């Protein structure tokens, strides 16, 4: 079938992902190839010291993204989307969305970016003997309890952004196991919330006398392939305000962006991994066995089919690079030179390849927000050098590309050097890798491992959740076999191996980086 025939026959599959700066929709055909897409740009807001997106922004963004997809379909194929074979929704993981029995949000959505949950996370990590990150839903919930927030007694539903959107368009209060594992730890054997930890939490808060227990308010955990409901008439209207989209198509379990990133890079098998690098960055390494002990820098989550994953999550990645490129754009405009942003990024990124392996001593800290792995509750982006360092454009750009993945390296050094984890393949995706060969080479040096990048990885998590929706309706294979044999059919992308010089240079850079972290700490204290 042609793409137009696929759409008109209702056999296309839709994936929508809510990223930090963009909501993206990808429509795929029966061969899992993207045939249309739409997007909506948005930004989080800092309100009362907490990062949030409003409920209004969520729904306007979803509807505008879908409208942009419709526009693309009309332009390319001169037809309307009337029905779909399946839909999937994904979003940035973790955070806190609490609702009362009327399904009214009790406090503004608290995103993964917030770092105000330090006391709660520390207490829960000790109680569970398991690393509980600041951004996890259970940390936010317990922090609200510790602070005596009045809304806690009224909680009927607690979910993530992906879970919320799915719930509102299907009526089903469920969550994919990968996203669920970012609320409270999941037991890989049962594929649902860890019963021992749930029991400990209930006992911990029992003196508060709340009418609910933890499992009463959490979504049901589902694995990839399970049916998670159908698009309701109300849901169809919420998605497509033009009224063309008919209800009734199946919807797969909603997943977090980490899970869809693993799917989009064929990294759900043991001994595979992926790195997503955009506004934030994270690496996901699928483990053969549990780690020897908890690490504050390592989060344990799961793949969409429930396998244990070691996750290193960094709040910051490319935002500071984007700010500097914006400065170069202003300079070009000042000179009256036409600006092509794609060309500007490409030239600056490629210039970094000419820099010294250790960046000539230059260092960049990309902390737009706090960075828990390095112990920073707040961030202050800055660039630092001494008078004797080699200050030139190539080293400047290389230092910022190194800095964007510096925290990622610190976390992964624990896995590869301390835990001696072995991987067969690591795949990169996200904006950091958009200029061919540059970010890939930097990450290879940081992790001292070959890094693959696929052409399809640029489609990102929206494509990943579309694949999960397709998997639900089209296959009886295991998820890893479906991806390996059907979707990717042996394609592992283009691989770049690290050079000894680059590895040694990054090691020198990261030692300087760690030694100078007190400068970042002082900047946080000194500049409000």
Please indicate, yes or no, if residue 55 is contained in any of the structural domains: no
**pLDDT given for residue 459 in this prediction:** 60
The token pair that represents 109 in the structure block: 């959505």
The answer to whether position 109 is within a domain reads yes
Looking at the predicted structure, is the pLDDT value of residue 486 above 60?
yes
Give domain status of residue 150, yes or no: yes
Instruction: Give the model confidence (pLDDT) of 98-116 as tens digits.
Output: 999 999 999 999 998 888 9
Residue 70 to residue 242: CA distance in whole angstroms: 10
In the prediction, which pLDDT does 457 show? 52
Residue 423: which pLDDT band, with cuts at 50, 70 and 90? Answer: very high
Of 269, 260, 188, nearest to 221 (Cα)? Answer: 188
**At residue 460, what are phi and psi to the nearest 5 degrees?**
70, -160
Q: What pTM was estimated for this model as a whole?
A: 0.87
pLDDT of residue 458: 54
The pLDDT value given to residue 85: 98
Determine contact, residues 304/178, Cβ cutoff 8 Å.
Answer: yes
Residue in 231, 224, 176 with CA at minimum distance from that of residue 475: 224
Residue 301: name the closest of 290, 291, 311, 315 by CA: 311
Domain that holds residue 110: 96-159+184-217
| Predicted confidence (pLDDT) per residue in 38-57, tens digit | 999 999 999 999 999 999 99
Rounded CA separation 365/422 (Å):
29
pLDDT at residue number 456: 62
Q: Are 28 and 35 in contact (CB under 8 A)?
A: yes
Task: State how many domains the chain has.
Answer: 1
Vertex 222: Cα angle to 221 and 228 (nearest 5): 115
Residue 345's alpha-carbon distances to 276, 324, 401, 432, 484, in angstroms, are 19, 10, 12, 10, 33
108 vs 120: CA distance, rounded Å: 19
Asked whether residue 1 is assigned to any structural domain, the reply reads: no
Tokens at residue 518, please? 């007190």
In this predicted model, what pLDDT tens digit does every residue of 214-259 receive, in sequence order? 999 999 999 999 999 999 999 999 999 999 999 999 999 999 998 9
> Could you tell me the two tokens for 13?
């599959």
pLDDT, tens digit, for every residue of 147-176? 999 999 999 999 999 999 999 999 999 999
Whether residue 7 lies inside any domain: the answer is no
Residues in the chain: 528
Whether residue 134 is contained in a domain is answered as yes
Q: Which run of H or of E encompasses 445? A: helix 438-447
* Share above pLDDT 90 across residues of the chain, in percent, rounded to a whole number: 89
- What the block records as the tokens of 107 is 């406090």
Which three-class secondary structure string do you get for 91-151? ECCCCEEEECCCCCECCCCECCCCCCCHHHHHHHHHHHCCCCCCCCHHHHHHHHHHCCCHH
CB atoms under 10 Å from CB of 509, counted, come to: 27
The pLDDT value recorded for residue 377 is: 85
What's the pLDDT score for residue 31?
94
Average pLDDT, the chain: 95
Residue 278 pLDDT level (bands cut at 50, 70, 90): confident
**Mean local confidence (pLDDT), 117-136:** 95
In a domain, 198, yes or no: yes
Phi then psi for 31, rounded to 5 degrees?
A: -100, 15
Q: Is residue 123 part of a domain?
A: yes
Q: What six digits make up the tokens of 61?
A: 């963004």
Cα–Cα distance, 395 to 386 (Å, whole number)? 13
Closest-CA residue to 494 (of 429, 414, 413): 429
The helices-and-strands tally (H runs, E runs) of the chain is 19, 22
């Amino acid at each position: 079938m042609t793409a137009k025939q696929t759409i008109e026959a209702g056999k296309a599959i839709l994936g929508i992902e809510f990223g930090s700066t963009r909501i993206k929709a990808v429509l795929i055909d029966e061969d899992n190839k993207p045939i249309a897409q739409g997007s909506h740009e948005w930004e989080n807001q800092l309100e009362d010291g907490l990062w949030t997106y409003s409920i209004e922004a969520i729904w306007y963004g979803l509807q505008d993204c879908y409208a942009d997809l419709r526009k693309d379909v009309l332009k390319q194929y001169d037809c309307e989307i009337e029905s779909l074979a399946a839909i999937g929704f994904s979003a940035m993981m973790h955070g806190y969305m609490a609702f009362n029995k009327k399904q009214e949000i009790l406090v503004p959505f608290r995103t993964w970016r917030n770092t105000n949950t330090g006391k709660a996370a520390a207490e829960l990590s000790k109680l569970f003997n398991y690393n509980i990150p600041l951004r996890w839903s259970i940390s936010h919930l317990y922090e609200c309890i510790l602070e005596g927030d009045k809304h806690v007694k009224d909680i009927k539903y607690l979910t993530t952004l992906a879970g919320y959107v799915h719930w509102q368009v299907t009526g089903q209060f469920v969550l994919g196991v990968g996203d669920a594992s970012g609320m409270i730890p999941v037991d890989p054997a049962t594929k649902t919330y860890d019963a021992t930890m749930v029991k400990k939490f209930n006992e911990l808060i029992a003196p508060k006398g709340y009418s609910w227990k933890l499992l009463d308010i959490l979504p049901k955990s589902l694995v990839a392939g399970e049916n998670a409901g159908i698009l309701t008439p109300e849901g169809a209207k919420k998605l497509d305000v033009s009224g063309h989209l008919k209800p009734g198509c199946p919807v797969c379990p909603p997943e977090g962006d980490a899970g869809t990133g693993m799917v989009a890079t064929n990294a759900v098998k043991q001994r595979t991994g992926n790195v997503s690098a955009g506004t934030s960055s994270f690496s996901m390494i699928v483990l053969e066995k549990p780690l020897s002990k908890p690490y504050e820098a390592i989060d344990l989550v799961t793949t969409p089919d429930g396998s244990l994953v070691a996750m290193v999550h960094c709040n910051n990645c490319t935002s500071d690079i984007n700010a500097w490129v914006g400065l170069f754009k202003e300079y070009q405009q000042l000179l009256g030179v036409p600006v092509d942003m794609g060309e500007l990024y490409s030239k600056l990124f490629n210039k970094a390849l000419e820099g010294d392996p250790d960046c000539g001593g230059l260092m960049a800290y990309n902390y737009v927000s706090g960075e828990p792995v390095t112990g920073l509750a707040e961030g202050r982006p800055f660039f630092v050098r001494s008078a004797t360092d080699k200050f030139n454009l190539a080293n400047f750009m290389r230092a910022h590309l190194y800095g964007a993945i510096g925290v990622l390296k610190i976390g992964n050094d624990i896995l590869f050097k301390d835990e001696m984890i072995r991987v067969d393949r690591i795949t990169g995706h996200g904006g950091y890798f958009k200029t061919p060969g540059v970010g890939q080479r930097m990450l290879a040096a940081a992790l001292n491992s070959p890094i693959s990048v696929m052409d399809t990885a640029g489609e990102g998590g929206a494509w990943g959740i579309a694949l999960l929706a397709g998997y639900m309706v089209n296959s009886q294979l295991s998820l890893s076999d479906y991806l390996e044999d059907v979707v990717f059919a042996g394609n592992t992308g283009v691989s770049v191996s690290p050079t000894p010089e680059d590895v040694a240079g990054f090691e020198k850079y990261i030692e300087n980086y760690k030694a100078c972290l007190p400068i970042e700490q002082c900047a946080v204290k000194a500049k409000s």
